[in-house]
Amino acid sequence: MPRPVIQTWGLSKRYGDVKALSALDIEVEQGEVVGYLGPNGAGKTTTIRLLLGLIRASAGRAEIFGVDCQRRPVEVHRRLAYVAGEANLWPSLTGAETLHLLGRIQGSVDTAYRDELVERFDLDPSRKVRAYSRGNRQKVILVAALMTRPELLVLDEPTAGLDPLMEQEFRHCIREARERGQTAFLSSHILSEVEALCDRVGILRDGRLIEMGTLAEMRHLSALSVEATFDGPVPDLAGVVGVSSVRVNDGVLRCNVYGPVQPLLKRLATARVRELLSREPSLEELFLAHYGNGHEPERDPVRGG
């Protein structure tokens, strides 16, 4: 089996007393699109800047394509492209000049694809960067990254400032990239984007990776959301194994279930249920479960299974 595209061993970064990233172990296989989630300040950008060699690791190491990305960043950068969340470009250059410059520094550009991307992102390359809106500047660095056909895309909140249409276009581009076998590491705040694009998701909190897996795996570990409407009195769910977060409102009961649903169904059957809905949690709910309630994952003390 080939080595992972990205691999880290105990990668850490401290700023004085602040631990920005603690002992990160992560692997990204070739052809995967991996989402990287976490609230502001969780360490997402720190991770990416370490991977790019822009900042020095306090401990641990990281390899991309089997090359140490802290010691030999230039070698690594030949095969990847990076999109930052904020496009800080040279205000006096035009879009076309910027793309030309960045292409020349990269060393290889698929010019036909570049022109296609400019078209698809509806970018006017004759305008100066100073005259671009924030979204348009973001398009410039997106095009600059994609046009080099990199083996690995490192994306740090890449759609900040894009309108919904352009956001869709971005998703198309990433899907196309994956179909061609390119790998992507996507840090994002937009959970629907991650849900739509990513094979696996890592969740970061306070500089630690607290979850890593496919969405299906993560859902499995998480609660099922149940909503029941009654004709008549609502049954008491106290003591039912696996049930938590019970809310009752106007004859409608909502709760979460971990593990088997059998005990809950038994109890519900004692009352006159008119409607019963259940669904898997969305990524947003998974995310909030990890960060809501004073940053403690919501888990039931009476856990079933």
In the complex, which residues of this chain contact another protein (CB under 8 A)?
Answer: 49, 52, 54-56, 73-75, 77-78, 81-82, 84, 86, 88-94, 96-97, 100-102, 104-107, 124-128, 130-131, 141
Residue 201 in contact with residue 167, Cβ under 8 Å?
no
Whichever of 55 and 196 has its CB closer to another protein, that residue is 55
Whichever of 45 and 222 has its CB closer to another protein, that residue is 45
Whichever of 1 and 18 has its CB closer to another protein, that residue is 18
- Angle, to 10 degrees, between the axis of helix 134-146 and the axis of helix 164-179? 10
Q: How far is the CB of 56 from another protein (least distance, A)?
A: 6
Q: How far is the CB of 23 from another protein (least distance, A)?
A: 19
Residue 34 in contact with residue 185, Cβ under 8 Å?
yes
Neighbour-count burial of 246, counting CB atoms closer than 10 A to its CB (0-12 exposed, 13-18 middle, 19+ buried): middle
Whichever of 94 and 222 has its CB closer to another protein, that residue is 94
Whichever of 56 and 238 has its CB closer to another protein, that residue is 56
Whichever of 137 and 205 has its CB closer to another protein, that residue is 137
Q: How far is the CB of 91 from another protein (least distance, A)?
A: 7
The 3-class secondary structure across 160-197, one letter per residue, is CCCCHHHHHHHHHHHHHHHHCCCEEEEECCCHHHHHHH
Q: How far is the CB of 163 from another protein (least distance, A)?
A: 20
What CA–CA distance (Å, rounded) separates 163 from 138?
11
Whichever of 126 and 214 has its CB closer to another protein, that residue is 126
Q: How far is the CB of 112 from another protein (least distance, A)?
A: 18
What CA–CA distance (Å, rounded) separates 87 from 89?
6
Residue 58 in contact with residue 12, Cβ under 8 Å?
yes
Instruction: Using alpha carbons, list the distances in angstroms from residue 58 to 21, 123, 162.
Output: 9, 40, 35
Q: Which two tokens stand for residue 186?
A: 């996507």
Q: Which two tokens stand for residue 298?
A: 């919501």
Q: How far is the CB of 54 from another protein (least distance, A)?
A: 5
Q: How far is the CB of 249 from another protein (least distance, A)?
A: 26
Whichever of 125 and 297 has its CB closer to another protein, that residue is 125
Q: Which two tokens stand for residue 291?
A: 């960060």
Q: How far is the CB of 123 from another protein (least distance, A)?
A: 13
End-to-end CA distance of the chain: 35
Q: Which two tokens stand for residue 140?
A: 């410039």
Location of structure tokens 């194994």: 241
